[in-house]
Amino acid sequence: KLNTRVKSGYMNKIFLELVANGAQEQILWDYKPHVGTDVLKIVVKNLREKIINLGGEFHFNTLIKDVIILDGKVKGIKIQNLKSPILVEENVLFDHVMLAIGHSSRDTYRMLHKHGVFMENKPFAIGARIEHPRVDIDTMQYGKMCSHPNLEAATYSLTYNNRDEERGVFSFCMCPGGVIVNAASQEGGTLVNGMSYSQRDGRFSNSALVVGVKANEFGDELFSGMEYQDQLEKKTYDIIGNYGALYQNTLDFLKGKTTNRKIESSYEMELKSYDLNNLFPEVISKNMKMAMGYWEKTQRNFISEHANLIGPETRTSAPVKVTRNEFGESINTKGLYPIGEGAGYAGGIISAAIDGFKVVDLAFATL
């Protein structure tokens, strides 16, 4: 899905580049452009080949173990080849480093913090995927026209505002005809995410149903939010004993009762029944229930014996921000340019791409 709320002059260039590298032309005019994982794999490969032809290099299985910083200035990076049977580390010297680490590189955040790179806590969101038979969502959105051949799998976007707590509950990353997938990146921790293939013709539709978490909700330390995500992923792993996911029917979640039957789902790894009220802290489960109770009355089919929660979904965005100045540089480390979702300045594919272009242009303007 390439929709974004960000508006930018770079947008046209990004979409044209994606089409030139194999994405569907439809994304140039569709108001909710979608590529799909199957096509995206080809686009990414083509983009990589283009970059290599222009003189760029890709180093797979290579960890940036350290950023070399002297007197508040970047001097280079230390890299480690993860495939080598012996420890091979190499210093590569540069005075400008664009760091696009994504939102889950917890060891890299800690390494930057150790060097004193300025970061701050930021809000994020936690919850679970909600999955329905696709036909239920198509009926919710299209009514009796739901099986019309000209209609694609239906999408939705739901929000609920808990005014007393100034907290939002919202659907996110809706995947019509899509699948729920495992998104773990650390040993001993598990979580889910969602995606669709280009045809969006799977039997199920899913989206994340998440509750906003305020910057210091889980503690005042810089990494309190990140540690909370980590604990939740590990707790889930310990309950299941592997990289599966927990499930609960939506009606049972509202009643605080474990689902005592198997469910049908697009998720292909192990699913274990669990009362998610016991997984999440009260602030998350209470707000999810408030929102779901409201949608039960207002959205046909949304809460039903066919609608299930599968979770947890912990990584909707970065829990910290690597703060930049107006030139796109870290505010206290010269030559370090934190970009994309990991820097806390983007929340999806297109906004991360826009951020990359923007910071590269800012950096070149000051060289």
Ligand X SMILES: Cc1cc2nc3c(=O)[nH]c(=O)nc-3n(C[C@H](O)[C@H](O)[C@H](O)COP(=O)(O)OP(=O)(O)OC[C@H]3O[C@@H](n4cnc5c(N)ncnc54)[C@H](O)[C@@H]3O)c2cc1C
Binding site for ligand X (CB under 6 A): 1, 63-64, 100-102, 105, 108, 173, 181, 183, 193, 195, 340-342, 346, 348-350, 352
Q: CB-wise, 175 or 263, nearer to ligand X?
A: 175
The rounded distance, in Å, linking the Cα atoms of 61 and 360 is 25
The rounded distance, in Å, linking the Cα atoms of 197 and 244 is 21
The rounded distance, in Å, linking the Cα atoms of 184 and 190 is 5
The rounded distance, in Å, linking the Cα atoms of 291 and 295 is 6
How far, CA to CA in Å, does 143 sit from each of 133, 136, 157, 292? 15, 10, 17, 21
* DSSP-assigned letter for residue 154: P
* DSSP-assigned letter for residue 343: G
The rounded distance, in Å, linking the Cα atoms of 225 and 172 is 19
Quote the least distance from Cβ 353 to ligand X, whole Å: 8
Judging by DSSP bridges, how do beta strands 320-321 and 120-121 pair with one another?
A: antiparallel
Contacts of 41 (CB under 8 A, 6+ apart): none
Is the distance from CB of 167 to CB of 212 less than 8 angstroms?
Answer: yes
Is the distance from CB of 80 to CB of 87 less than 8 angstroms?
Answer: yes
Q: CB-wise, 158 or 349, nearer to ligand X?
A: 349
Q: CB-wise, 18 or 290, nearer to ligand X?
A: 18
Quote the least distance from Cβ 84 to ligand X, whole Å: 15
Q: CB-wise, 74 or 181, nearer to ligand X?
A: 181
Q: Which amino acid is at 358?
A: K
Angle, helices 224-240 vs 106-114, to 10°: value is 150
Quote the least distance from Cβ 19 to ligand X, whole Å: 17
Q: CB-wise, 209 or 303, nearer to ligand X?
A: 209
Quote the least distance from Cβ 7 to ligand X, whole Å: 15
Quote the least distance from Cβ 220 to ligand X, whole Å: 26
Alpha carbons within 13 A on the beta-carbon side of 63 = 15
Q: CB-wise, 69 or 101, nearer to ligand X?
A: 101
Q: CB-wise, 43 or 173, nearer to ligand X?
A: 173
Quote the least distance from Cβ 44 to ligand X, whole Å: 10
